[in-house]
Amino acid sequence: GQLVSRTGRYRWNAVLGPVVLTIGMLLLWRMGTGTTNAEAARNMVIAGIGIGSMMQVFVLSVQNAVTRSLLASATALTQFGRQMGARIGVPGLVGPS
């Protein structure tokens, strides 16, 4: 967030964020019963950096794409889409019990 605020550029966050998140998710996927707490923490930090660098940037890019009169609606729609993705994605990962 500070980097975007100081430079005014957010394209690199939108490009590198998914790459870092993918690396983090692959590391999380490869964890097993022998994974140490330090390795698990490292993997979660990498995934968190990836997702954290994307979340703010995607809201910012949506806000830059609409007129001022639609700013609140566009921001709310972004949050709604995020909530629906979590609502659909998490149960899909867990599967039937």
Backbone angles phi, psi at 31, to 5 degrees: -70, 150
**pLDDT, average across residues 8-29:** 87
Name the pTM for this structure.
0.69
Please write the tens of the pLDDT for every residue from 30-78: 999 999 999 999 999 999 999 888 888 888 888 889 999 999 999 999 9
Distance in angstroms (rounded) separating the CA atoms of residues 2 and 22 = 23
